[in-house]
Amino acid sequence: MIKVNGEDFPWEEGLTVKKLLEKKGYTFPTIVVLINGLSVPENEYVSTIIPDGADVKAIHLVAGG
Amino acid sequence: MKRLAQKVEFCTACQLCEDLCSKTYFKEENREKSSIRIEIGEKGGSSIIACTQCGVCMEICPAQAIYQDKNGIIRIKKELCVGCFACVGFCPEGAMFQHHEYLEPFKCVACGICTKQCPTGAIFIEEVS
Amino acid sequence: MSVEKLKEKHRLLAQFQYIPGKVEKGYANRTLYVNLSENRIAEKPVSQEMKEKFIGGRGFGLKLLWDGVTGNTKWDDPENEIIIAPGPIAGITQYPGAGKSYVVSLSPLTHTVIDSNVGGYFGSLLKFSGFDALEIQGKAEQDVIVFIDGVNGTVAIEEASQAVVNSHILVEQLTEMYAANEEDKVNVSVVSTGAAAEHTLIGMLNFSFYDKRRKAVRIKQAGRGGIGTVFRNKKIKALVVRGPRIKGDLNHPADKTLLDKAGIKLHKEIATLDNSQNKMRIGGTTYLTKIMNDYDILPVNNFKFGSHPAANNIASDAFIKYFNLTGHDGCWYGCTLSCAKAINAFELKTGPYKGQKVLVDGPEYETVAGVGSVCGIFDPEYIIENNFYCDTYGIDTISFGTIMAFLMECYENGIINKEITGGLELNFGNGEAAMEVLHQMARGEGFGKIAGLGVRRLKKLFVEEYGADPAFLEDIGMEVKGLEYSIYLPKESLAQQGGYGLTNKGPQHDEAWLIFMDMVNNQIPTFEDKAEALHYFPMFRTWFSLNGLCKLPWNDIVPANNRTTAEPAKIPEHVQNYVDLFNGVTGMNITKEDLITQSERVYNFQRVFNLRMGFGTREHDQVPYRSMGPVTVEEYESRQERYDKQLKEKVGFDPEGKTTEEKIAVLRKYREDQYQKLCDAVYKRRGWTENAVPKLETLERLGMDFPEVVEVVKKYL
């Protein structure tokens, strides 16, 4: 189990940032991703594997119309 | 059409072109008022920045103050310019310039004055079709 | 009739001469007063105190309106006013989004003060013609045009009974008529509305600008709150300003280098980053539709649902196909964000202009979702056509959409029927019927005239006339304070429920838009966090309205390194740009904290203004349950997994084996309680009483404890 924005989310082997964003339906173009407080650059979403128990933040920088 | 071209490897960064340009158009030697800029890199190499007459600024200008003359040179009609400097921000070459003393931007019009005195031939006027 | 002939028909009723003068540090230092009952025109000085306390724009509008009306003034009394004011930063060309006008009046929908913002050139040209605000009071006997000639220094009231009403024709005619020549057209701007503003309470104002590239007059809308209805009630056909040629220093800024620097920096940001961020330069605000749908917050079928499989049909690509892009689609000079999209030569399928090819301004996101998804309509051509007619008839697309959606739900529930609608089958998705309602609004006949009363009055009517269940209508009628909701679904974001409910003017998202911070990012989990956000963001965004700025360049483009800043949601670098712009124009030396204080003054004043008009207390901040949670079984069951989980985890209620009705009731109790706790926290943070009244100490701290303000507040303490 990991935390995503403070809520529980099931963990699986080989879960990358990209996969997580897809599973959550996070399609917004500018999301800031932090794993245990460390920022992940966008070009590493495909290769970064999220460890079990991680505290993930996926911060959407959208403030609406 | 003609435009200013460069062989940057010949540039010695003497910056004579900058002085000549600002002197010609603004009556003072001040590189901040030059339409050609020599940027000296950290490792000593230099780059030459001047308008390539690509016309992106023309598309951006909200006042349609920028036009291409019959020789292919991109020019600014000062009386129409509203001074928004969108062209400065959008120029892909960073070759549209602005100085706080003036309401309008300025740019290289390929007059060739600087090229005639460039000691190494690093800049020159070329004809392109 | 030719333009020359029309001009001859204009009979001069009053004329006023003045010395155009110069704007100094963003201020013309006087306002223009026009009384249409008396045909009287005068100028008023702007005091130093007025600038300090009210800044400009919406602030000036509120101050002038406060002085012009009493607590008993009704929206259609002659003494009601329409005030248009740009603000000190308005009219600078160096920074994107600096050409906004703010309009203030007593609203026919809310019966209290309303403010609405709009692009186009009018506000800036007004200021450069010598006035920080235009204040119109009284009612004309015959239709009039007010013409401000800032080049020659004259203001005229002209009788203009012959002129057409509908905006797309009128703005072209008047631009032609009042411009000295073709080149001068860019210096002319027209404010107008349309035929439907006369017959409904949701009339809006169009503000024009001449688009040199398209050689056409474009319009932007001050949509909210029915100010177009007030405009026609005063028998105004149009306001026209002709200003001087625009240059980069007409504001005579104290330090122009600050403007140049901030502006060029933002132009560069937009040039390099827009394409990987929101692609505003390509699609305007239409990019939002897909995002809202993906995150289940795109209102569908009167805010029942947050997404729909057909929403892709109205995503940005559907409109980009129609957009005719130019390198500059801004509604003021220098706005490189360029969201003011247009469709050329769109052939109309209905109405009085059927078969004609017209230019359509937009659509923007709010219109796409407002006249589209919220009514269950996913047809781009319907949306474009509806957008055109709303604009030319002078109707707010947001209110129109939210009203239609309400009517459709009433129709599907048998509250109204074909007999009542005059034969229209108002099911969700029936664009043809919705379009007919719009045309009826313009003709002032049939069911359209009834629909034009707005959701609040329709609820009452349906209860009184047709025996509808008042509780159900209160739940599904998407209005607060009498104003229809703008088009975001706040059900799953408590903070945004407050962002809509705890507003001064009604549920418009220009105060706060916190859905992602709250619902998706979970960045403001506690009531205190939400209250802080509902203090900071409404104050920050109010500041745009004091200065003549647009919100979009603040956060619809962000610097590349914004993600690494301490508070990315605030876009700290852009906040600093605004501080620089204000100081650069006015020569003052404010900080980013002062910026919030400036807004707090006006914001609290507006709250007191509401109190003065008999509104503004806690009861007026309450929201329909549809905006908080699932009203119907259909809604609950459509997101059953989500709601069951919440019942279990948040409410401590085991949903196992319970009926949907039982679960709805338990969830409702929980959510309504949450909303009340939010109100408490927000009022506390804003320095208000539990009844949402600004405390005396708050007004004193802000220096807004004017005797007449204190007098109003004291009645509630």
Instruction: Summarize pLDDT for B25-48 with one digit per residue, the tens.
Output: 999 999 999 999 999 887 777 899
Most C-contacting residue of B54, B74, B77, B84 (CB-CB within 10 A), to test interface: B84
Tell me the nearest-neighbour CA distance from B123 into chain C, angstroms.
27
Q: Which residue has the tokens 């964000």?
A: C337
Which among A5, A6, A27 has CB closest to C291?
Answer: A27
User: Tens digits of per-residue pLDDT, C47-103?
Assistant: 999 999 999 999 999 999 999 999 999 999 999 999 999 999 999 999 999 999 999
pLDDT at A63: 59
* CB-based contact B84 C257, cutoff 8 Å: no
C653 DSSP 8-state letter: -
Residues of B in contact with C260 (CB under 8 A): 85, 98, 100
Is B83 in Cβ contact with C327 (below 8 Å)? no
Please, do chains C and A touch (3+ CB pairs < 8 Å)?
yes
Residues of chain B with pLDDT under 70: none
The candidate with the shortest Cα–Cα distance to C145, out of C163, C165, C126, C160, is C160
The type of residue at A62 is: V
How far apart are the CA of A20 and the nearest CA of chain C, in angstroms? 14
- Two tokens, residue C379: 């047809």
pLDDT tens digits for range C118-157: 999 999 999 999 999 999 999 999 999 999 999 999 999 9
C-alpha span between C139 and B46 (Å, rounded)? 69
Structure confidence by residue, pLDDT tens digits, C13-49:
999 999 998 899 999 999 999 999 999 999 999 999 9
Nearest-CA distance from C75 to chain A in Å? Answer: 28
Banded pLDDT at C1 (limits 50, 70, 90) = low
pLDDT at residue C218 is higher than 60? yes
Radius of gyration (Cα) for chain A, nearest Å? 11
Where does CATH 1.10.599.10 sit in chain C?
494-557+591-714
CA–CA gap between residue B17 and residue B11 (Å, rounded): 11
Instruction: Provide the pairing of β-strand C134-137 with C30-35.
Output: parallel
CA–CA distance, A3 with A57 (Å, rounded to integer): 8
Compute the distance between CA of residue C562 and CA of residue C336 in angstroms, rounded to an integer: 20
Mean pLDDT within C563-589: 94
Give the C-alpha separation, C100 to C132, whole Å. 13
Look at residue A65 and tell me whether its pLDDT is greater than 60. no
Residue C2: the pLDDT is 75
Sign of CA dihedral C402, C408, C411, C412: negative
Inter-chain residue contact C525 with A27, CB threshold 8 Å: no
Q: What is the CATH number of domain C494-557+591-714?
A: 1.10.599.10
Q: Report pLDDT for C10.
A: 85
Candidates C276, C509, C568; nearest CB to A32: C568
Contacts of B103 in chain C (CB under 8 A): 247-249
Q: Which of C348, C394, C13, C399 is nearest to C196 (CA)?
A: C394
Nearest Cα neighbor of C545 from C118, C57, C31 is C57
Q: Does the structure show a pLDDT above 90 at C9? A: no
Touching subunits for chain C (3+ Cβ pairs under 8 A)? A, B
| Helices (runs of H) and strands (runs of E) counted in chain C | 30, 17
Q: Specify the pTM.
A: 0.97
Domain spanning C3-242 has what CATH number? 3.60.9.10
Q: What single letter denotes the amino acid at residue C484?
A: E
How many cross-chain Cβ pairs, B to C, lie less than 8 Å apart? 75
Q: What is the pLDDT of residue B31?
A: 95
Give me the CATH number covering residue B52. Answer: 3.30.70.20
Residue where the block lists tokens 């129609």? C322
Residue-wise pLDDT for B50-60, tens only, equals 999 999 999 99
Residues C443, C436: contact at Cβ < 8 Å?
no
What is the CB neighbour count within 10 angstroms for residue C275? 12
Contact criterion met (CB below 8 Å) for C108 and C76: yes
**What is the per-residue pLDDT across C531-558, written as a single tens digit (0 to 9) for each?**
999 999 999 999 999 999 999 999 999 9
CATH topology for C278-484 is 1.10.569
Average pLDDT, chain C: 97
Report, at the CATH architecture level, how domain A2-60 is classified.
Answer: Roll (3.10)
Asked if B63 and C186 come within 8 Å (Cβ–Cβ), the reply is yes
**What is the pLDDT, as a whole number, of residue C694?**
98
Q: Which pLDDT score, from 0 to 100, does residue C3 have? A: 76
C684 phi and psi angles, rounded to 5 deg: -60, -45
Q: How confident is the model at residue C239 (pLDDT cuts 50, 70, 90)?
A: very high
- pLDDT single digits (tens) C306-336: 999 999 999 999 999 999 988 899 999 999 9
Closest chain A residue to the Cα of C286, Cα to Cα:
A65
Mean pLDDT calculated for residue range C376-399:
98
Q: How far is C327 from chain B (nearest CA, A)?
A: 5
Across the interface, of B60, B89, B100, the residue whose CB is closest to C327 is B60
Counting the structural domains of chain B, the total is: 1
Mean pLDDT on C405-432: 98
Residue C656 has pLDDT above 80, yes or no: yes
For A37, which residue in chain C has the nearest alpha carbon?
Answer: C564
- CB B82 to CB C256 under 8 A? no
Buried b (16+ CB within 10 A) or exposed e, C171-182: bbbbbbbbbeee
Cβ contact (<8 Å) for A61 and C366?
A: no
Enumerate the residues of chain C whose CB falls inside 8 A of the CB of residue B59. 326-328
d(CA C568, CA B33): 37
Q: Where are the beta strands (DSSP E) in B1-129?
A: 2-6, 37-40, 46-49, 66-68, 74-76, 123-127
Mean pLDDT, residues C466-490 taken together: 97
Query: Mean pLDDT across the stretch C236-256?
Result: 98
Rounded Cα distance between C579 and C619, Å, is 36
Over residues C348-385, the pLDDT tens digits come to 999 999 999 999 999 999 999 999 999 999 999 999 99
Which residues make Cβ contacts (< 8 Å) with residue C613, sequence separation at least 6? C71, C106, C111, C112, C113
CB contact under 8 A, A60 and C521: yes
Which of B54, B80, B85, B100 has the most C C-beta neighbours within 10 Å, making it the best mutation to test the interface with C?
B85
Does the beta carbon of B54 lie under 8 angstroms from any beta carbon of chain C? no
Task: Specify the pLDDT at position C162.
Answer: 84
As annotated, the residues of chain C forming the CATH 3.60.9.10 domain(s) are: 3-242
The model's pLDDT over A7-32, given as tens digits with 9 standing for 90+, comes to 999 999 999 999 999 999 998 887 88
Contact C564/A39, CB-based, under 8 Å? Answer: yes
* pLDDT mean across residues, chain B: 95
Percentage of the residues of chain C whose pLDDT score is greater than 90: 95
Full residue range of the structural domain in which residue B63 is found: 2-127
Contact assessment for residue C175 and residue C243, using Cβ atoms and an 8 Å cutoff: no
Q: Give the integer Cα–Cα distance in Å for C338 and C329.
A: 4
